[in-house]
Amino acid sequence: MQAVTTSAGSPLPLGSRQFSEGINFSLFSRHASAVSLLLFNSVDDVLPALTLPLHSCIHRTGDIWHIMVHGIQGITLYAWQADGPDEPDNGHRFAPDKILLDPYTQALAGTDHLDFSHGSDTSERLHSDAGRRARCLLTDNSFDWQGDCPPAHPWCDTIIYETHVRGLTIHPSAMARCPGTFSGVIEKIPYLKELGITAIELLPVQEFYEHELIIRNPESGEHLRNYWGYSTVAFFAPKESYGSRHHPGCQVDEFKTMVRALHQAGIEIILDIVFNHTAEGDHTGPTLNFRGLDNSIYYLLEEDLRFYKNYSGTGNTLNCNHPVVRDYILDCLRHWVIDMHVDGFRFDLASVLGRDAHGNLLANPPLLERIAEDPILSRVKLIAEAWDAAGAYQVGSFPGMRWSEWNGQYRDDVRRFWRGDAGVTHAFASRLCGSSDIYMHSGKSPLHSINFITCHDGFTLNDLVCYAQKHNEANAEENRDGAHDNYSCNYGSEGPDEALEGVRLRQIKNMLTTLFLSRGVPMLLGGDEFRRSQQGNNNAYCQDNEISWYNWELLQQHEELHRFVRHLITLRRRLPVLCSEHFYSNEDILWFGPDLAAPDWHGPRSLLGCTIHAADTPPLCLLFNATADPVVFNIPPAETGNGWRILIDTARPAPKIPGESSRWLKKKQQSLLPPYSLQLLRSEQKSRGVSPQR
């Protein structure tokens, strides 16, 4: 490395930052006794070109270690080493020979060589692991945003598409120029826009290590990979392998290019972010950064300080409400908003963010309040997965009014109703109306409910109607993993069966129609619109293969379903009554059974009808038959001089032109619903010369 000089530097900002006089490096560690900065000439170098020990009297301000380096030319690759007490009994796990990543690094290089060797006891450490570690990379923030402006869609107009950067375009059928990358997402923007999507929610894109798993596929013998990415290594850094790797750090510019292109198409970007735990795992896991910098501050520890509290189900739990960790999380979110132009976040196992140092759930968690009230984050979308792996379930009671929530009860009740379970009609009606029983008591609105039938975690919609049991044998855990209660049904046989296609397609349409007719914010799992299958696997976290990838040949095979979903989204936009931020009043909606009497709310048959009256929409009528029998519904009369026009009938093919239909009821006050079907009717005046269908 060329000759460099150093000076004291500044404690802020944390991380690495280029200034006119040099590069400032800054790192938090309260309990370290010595810290060294390592500089590398290239990603392939085994040993650092220069090691710069920091002196506490010059390079330390409080708990921040800092140094300014002058004269560095070219790309800047660096890492840290920290010495201090190696006393697990006291919560300290310093390892002076470990190469540590900067928690604030905005990019990593050489991530194929992350060290995930397990065991952090001194006796198991290598003399030097520098040759097997990724490097932190100083990034250039000179990207041309070209006047980028966030779409800022209100919640009432938002349609979310949950997807995976790699899975979206890595399959050969995607015919992507840059498969499996941020650039590949750009290639699918015209498709997303035509479908009617206003926001994509990406599974984790912060740097994680896909090769951390040690299990093998029981059939092929190949190592399984961490596909989903819920095991973060560097929270500020976009994943290197989601870039083209044309040069170190290109993933940062390519992520920004993707965001800019999405915004130009009117599509927002929401990141799934995992602040509940890190990739360092339990006491036997690797030392990557936090553990070797200040283990007792970054993590929740058991009374026996050698071990970690595990509210995430993955081995450790971040100490989110410690002031230092709170600041770290706020700095990270601000980075993604300010520097990367992200529009929102979905917080994985968000209940962890409300636990104190002892693991207790706080009534007013300071971190959640700070996120909600932060002036930089005041307009971004905040979505909580309002539960964790230790039993907390806060759907409807998650602290604060800014937070929308994944509504797990919506998913379960809609699945159970359409499966024909007894006694769920009342719950289904509430989900359709925005879940007032869940949200009204806390002063929240339907728009706090993120409605979904399926998500990345569980069956796809196709598999929900093709499998009664999960089939996770490929995960090499003897089918023990994944949810056991899926509220699914195969309608006669397990797996694909051409003879059952009719009922399965209707049920897919029924659930999708329910999703887009419900008050709240709809979230569509990517690929459900063309029946993507995971072969019955409901926990495909480790399946970086055709089980998880989007096979775009299915789009042509199931073109009619795709057209149907476009029709649903178009129709939702044309009927603002479905998107209201308010709950229905008793005057807005009238419920009835097939005979126009009051519904049998808790009875054995899933049958329901309702009419909706609102000032901004002609009267609507919704009819639901989730039984295996045809049912005749008597329905209230349409408005004077009007008839009932059929906008949706899940027992018939979708119209060729989304949003258009010319069918009217044969009888003004009666409709026959085939088994497992749904109809949406609108009271309209017939044009002269148009008569009901005979």
List the one residue out of 182, 163, 238 whose CA is nearest residue 208: 238
Distance CA 206, CA 231 (A): 9
Contact 37, 78 (CB under 8 A): yes
Q: Which tokens in the block code for residue 559?
A: 């073109």
Please state whether 88 falls in left (phi above 0), alpha (psi between -120 and 50) or beta.
alpha
The torsion region of residue 423 among left (phi > 0), alpha (psi -120 to 50) and beta comes to: left
Which residue is it, tokens 């081995």?
A: 315
Nearest to 197 by CA among 154, 167, 164, 157: 157
3-state SS string over 138-198? CCCCCCCCCCCCCCCCCHHHCCEEEECHHHHHCCHHHCCCCCCCHHHHHHCHHHHHHHCCC
Task: Confirm whether 385 is a catalytic residue.
Answer: yes
**Which residue reads 């009664």 in tokens?**
468
Closest listed residue to residue 513, CA positions, set 634, 684, 677, 670: 677
Cα separation, 537 vs 511, in Å, equals 20
What Å distances lie between residue 640 and 497, 644, 670, CA to CA? 47, 11, 16
Angle at which helix 425-432 crosses helix 501-517, to 10 degrees, equals 50
Sorted by sequence, the CB contacts under 8 Å of residue 553 that are 6+ apart come out as 173
Which of 254, 343, 385, 413 is catalytic? The answer is: 385
Phi, psi of 573 (to 5 degrees): -65, -30
Pairing of strands 199-202, 160-163: parallel
Residue 271's DSSP bridge partners are 202, 345
Q: How far apart are CA 350 and CA 336, in angstroms?
A: 18
- The SS3 of residue 64 is strand
Of 193, 169, 194, nearest to 183 by C-alpha is 169
Question: Is residue 86 within 8 Å of residue 112, measured between CB atoms?
Answer: no
Q: Where are the beta strands (DSSP E) in 3-44?
A: 5-7, 15-19, 22-28, 34-40
Cis? peptide before 446, omega within 30° of 0: no
Alpha-carbon gap, residue 536 to 177, rounded angstroms: 30
- C-alpha 477: how far from chain center: 24
Which one of 102, 129, 268, 348 is the catalytic residue? 348
The residue type found at 609 is G
Which residues participate in catalysis according to the annotation?
A: 348, 385
